[in-house]
């Protein structure tokens, strides 16, 4: 074998084992997250049931890598990506002491949490928009951090905490609170003042009009601000 061939095999072997470990950890966390959602449904349904409208807190599993939680008029979508990712060199995670002492620790799986309107699914409005509320990064050591909107900013100490059920519950609850506080705003008048006949006919058939909680407004204003807020590792 050539020297380059041996290097290729060595890298493939090391990264394959590493990425499989990250994938296994991420899937384990995602399954635990679904358990937490089931438990929350059991806990919340008796307290949120509306006789005229039915359940206001409904969990559904959508295969191995996706789950949804309907909370009144909101739909929370939890999705695990099946690939393993590395951070670009400008990412703040490289500044943490944990990463600087263990470069392979940055390879991470991702669980995304999106917020949609429940009616977007109910009426099949495929053009409606959802918003990424948070994403959880999990590595080979079951260490994690969370990137997200406002409330999610405090799970940022990468390397010092192992992800567990209690923390997952807190992340889920924070995501729900953000979604419930993230209200549907009236679209700008200039966007709505002209409509075609085709749009009106389509709306009759499908209640079809692109809708999102901040359509036409600035969603980025709720981002966690600054590297110090994002990554508190020393």
Q: Summarize pLDDT for 71-123 with one digit per residue, the tens.
A: 988 999 999 999 999 999 888 889 889 999 987 999 999 999 999 989 888 88
Total domains present in the chain: 1
Q: Which domain holds residue 116?
A: 3-230
Classify 219 as helix, strand or coil. Answer: coil
Top-confidence range, 118-122, 168-172, 224-228: 168-172
218 pLDDT band (50/70/90 cuts)? Answer: very low
Whole-number percent of the chain with pLDDT over 90: 43
pLDDT at 2 over 50: yes
pLDDT at 215: 43
Q: Residue 78's pLDDT is what?
A: 97
The region, left, alpha or beta by phi > 0 then psi within -120 to 50, assigned to residue 164 is beta
Cα 5 versus chain centre, distance: 39
Q: Is the pLDDT of residue 159 over 90?
A: no
Tokens of 159: 């390397």
pLDDT digits (tens, 9 = 90+) for 18-62: 999 999 999 999 999 999 999 999 999 887 766 656 678 899 999
**Full-model pTM:** 0.79
Report how far residue 63's alpha carbon sits from residue 118's, in angstroms, rounded to the nearest whole number: 19
Q: What is the pLDDT of residue 205?
A: 60
Residue bearing tokens 């939680």: 69
C-beta separation of 177 from 148 below 8 A: no
State yes or no: pLDDT of 64 exceeds 80: yes
Q: Taking the CB of residue 10, how many other CB atoms lie within 10 A of it?
A: 10
As a whole number, mean pLDDT of residues 175-201 equals 70
**Residue 200 or residue 27, greater confidence:** 27
Both tokens assigned to 175? 């995501």
What pLDDT does residue 1 have?
83
Bigger pLDDT: 157 vs 150? 157
- Mean pLDDT for the chain overall: 81
What does the block give as tokens for 90? 């400008």
* Higher-pLDDT residue of 224, 57: 57
- CA gap 77, 133 in Å, rounded: 10
Tell me whether residue 102 is exposed, middle or buried, using C-beta atoms within 10 angstroms of its C-beta: 0 to 12, 13 to 18, 19 or more.
Answer: middle
Where residue 224 falls among pLDDT bands split at 50, 70, 90? very low
Consecutive H or E run containing 212 = none
Inter-residue contact 214 to 185 (CB < 8 Å)? yes
Would you say how long the chain is, in residues? 234
């Amino acid at each position: 074998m050539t020297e380059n061939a041996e290097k290729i095999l060595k890298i493939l072997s090391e990264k394959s084992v590493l990425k499989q470990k990250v994938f296994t950890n991420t899937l384990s966390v995602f399954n635990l997250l679904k358990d937490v959602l089931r438990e929350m449904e059991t806990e919340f349904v008796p307290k949120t049931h509306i006789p005229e409208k039915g359940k206001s807190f409904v969990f559904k599993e959508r295969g191995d890598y996706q789950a949804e939680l309907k909370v009144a008029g909101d739909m929370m979508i939890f999705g695990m990506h099946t690939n393993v990712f590395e951070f670009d060199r400008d990412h703040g995670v490289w500044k943490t002491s944990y990463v600087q002492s263990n470069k392979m620790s940055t390879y991470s799986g991702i669980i995304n949490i999106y917020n949609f309107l429940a009616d977007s699914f109910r009426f099949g409005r495929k053009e409606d928009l959802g918003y990424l509320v948070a994403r959880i990064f999990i590595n080979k050591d079951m260490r994690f951090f969370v990137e997200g909107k406002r409330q999610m900013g405090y799970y940022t100490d990468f390397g010092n905490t192992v992800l567990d059920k209690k923390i997952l519950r807190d992340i889920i609850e924070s995501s729900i609170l953000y979604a419930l506080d993230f209200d549907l705003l009236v679209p700008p008048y200039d966007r709505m003042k002209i409509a075609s006949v085709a749009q009106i006919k389509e709306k009759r058939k499908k209640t079809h009009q692109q809708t999102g909680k901040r359509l036409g407004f600035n969603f980025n204003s709720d981002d966690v601000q600054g590297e110090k807020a994002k990554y508190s590792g020393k």
